[in-house]
A and B are shown apart, each in its own frame.
Chain A
């Protein structure tokens, strides 16, 4: 349905049906002082004027800045097929379309989305998406409390700080605690993580690549957790899974992550989607909607929401989760993105990210006074140590139209000189070289 404002004739006609003489009369039951007098908007513009106006506004907000910013949200290329297919009215205008008798298309898309997430993460069961990456980590923590009937989760402080805040927020008031293990230098402290696991531990939550960019192998941690009947929750970056071992391969019990990088624009913070996948034996503890495949009375293949007994409308306060917003349309974009790339394309995309970041590491790492803080393997993100305060340097480079990265002092005490730099497939060699020049200028001239 297109957007058509009401004409004066439409308004007259509608008022006549209702039996009101004027719009003023229609709203007369609302006290005058509670009604908006003006919306403080300028007069209307033509489409051409409006386009120009919005472009100017966007430029003033830094839309043409070259971003080397990541830290959980990434600037990846989005194939045109994603916008085109996801904006089809059948998908785009539907609201909670889960009635199997009239929503087979959406249900099938979500079923395939779930299959894709399972393949990517190496898990057996996925839900139809969650609100975002941070709430996905928190829902996984809650899952571990339900499964183990324990009250302590160990949280690696190399996990995205925003996600950690959401986890501690969720656990607050549940008489559950999150024990944070500080990183060693700028990588997870595996020894201390292992030592922290005991008979009270519900789960260990880790991230790979972690917030500093390190690609981690958590196999030994999985083993240690399982020895204590605790779970391993791995938060992962889906694009990296084209190249590195999946959470499933590492022995994780729950895999979560932010789905934005799969076909959703950075877009000032949302909307995005979170994904969560687990082993089949934990499926009843998986929050949110799950689409299953079935057959109808004529043995035709069809799709329905399944395992409804875990849900709020049946289990009330004992439901698996009461806040598990499904981001259907964003998840659909994720599915179309993966399908458009295909298995080989996905691997190539991951490799491209890796290669470009390796190049950036060598170029930026050789700038005078700059050192690499992430010493082990990284994916498309890495941490530099600068000779001076990183936020000041970022500010200076930003004036030249390049966003150099995320200063880590904001999240980690004592890391004021550390800068997290991200290089996706969208950054060209020229842009990387330019960043190196600007960095040197900002530091030494």
Chain B
């Protein structure tokens, strides 16, 4: 399964019609120690690039945008008690939520892993 990235440093991975969303390792590193993840409400529908969730670190509070349109069907409840999971593995156990009813065509407007790496070098 391949991850796709936004310019705002979210990632998305689509499998079996379901999209898993998180923030990139790069974003987690830049934010520093994550203290809180404001998870989206289950059942909420979002359009691509709408505000999806919020994340707070010792340094800043930021929005997390939806990399793809869909309906929130699952959130990573573990982050409530252990927001540091995002620092430990932003692109693995630190995932934020899962969306359903996604249009895979929207992935075309995102970057693949290699393009994202190039993008980061240019920042």
Measuring CB to CB, which residues of chain A are less than 8 angstroms from any residue of chain B?
149, 284, 309-310, 314-315, 318
Give 18 CB contacts A-B under 8 Å. Answer: A149-B41, A149-B44, A284-B36, A284-B38, A309-B35, A309-B36, A309-B56, A309-B57, A309-B60, A309-B61, A310-B56, A310-B61, A314-B60, A314-B61, A315-B61, A318-B54, A318-B61, A318-B63
Q: Which B49-90 residues sit within 8 Å CB-CB of chain A?
A: 54, 56-57, 60-61, 63
Chain B residues contacting A314 (CB-CB under 8 Å) are: 60-61
**Closest CB pairs A-B (n = 6):** A309-B56, A309-B61, A315-B61, A314-B61, A149-B41, A314-B60
Chain A residues contacting B61 (CB-CB under 8 Å) are: 309-310, 314-315, 318
Nearest CB of chain A from residue B35's CB, rounded to whole Å: 7
The majority secondary structure among interface residues of chain A is helix
Measuring CB to CB, which residues of chain B are less than 8 angstroms from any residue of chain A?
35-36, 38, 41, 44, 54, 56-57, 60-61, 63
Chain B residues contacting A309 (CB-CB under 8 Å) are: 35-36, 56-57, 60-61
The majority secondary structure among interface residues of chain B is strand
Nearest CB of chain A from residue B8's CB, rounded to whole Å: 15
B57: nearest residue on chain A (CB-CB)? A309
Q: How far does the alpha carbon of A315 sit from the alpha carbon of B63 in the complex, in Å?
A: 10
Q: How far does the alpha carbon of A309 sit from the alpha carbon of B44 in the complex, in Å?
A: 24
Nearest CB of chain B from residue A287's CB, rounded to whole Å: 15
Chain A residues contacting B38 (CB-CB under 8 Å) are: 284
Nearest CB of chain A from residue B49's CB, rounded to whole Å: 17
Q: How far does the alpha carbon of A309 sit from the alpha carbon of B54 in the complex, in Å?
A: 11
Chain B residues contacting A315 (CB-CB under 8 Å) are: 61
Chain B residues contacting A310 (CB-CB under 8 Å) are: 56, 61
Chain B residues contacting A149 (CB-CB under 8 Å) are: 41, 44
Chain A residues contacting B57 (CB-CB under 8 Å) are: 309
B41: nearest residue on chain A (CB-CB)? A149
Chain A residues contacting B36 (CB-CB under 8 Å) are: 284, 309
A281: nearest residue on chain B (CB-CB)? B80
Nearest CB of chain B from residue A316's CB, rounded to whole Å: 9
Nearest CB of chain B from residue A282's CB, rounded to whole Å: 12
Q: How far does the alpha carbon of A314 sit from the alpha carbon of B57 in the complex, in Å?
A: 11
Q: What 4 new A-B contacts, CB under 8 Å, besides A149-B44, A315-B61, A318-B54?
A: A309-B35, A309-B56, A309-B60, A309-B61
Chain A residues contacting B63 (CB-CB under 8 Å) are: 318
Chain A residues contacting B44 (CB-CB under 8 Å) are: 149
- Interface-central residue, A149, A284, A309, by most chain B CB under 10 Å: A309
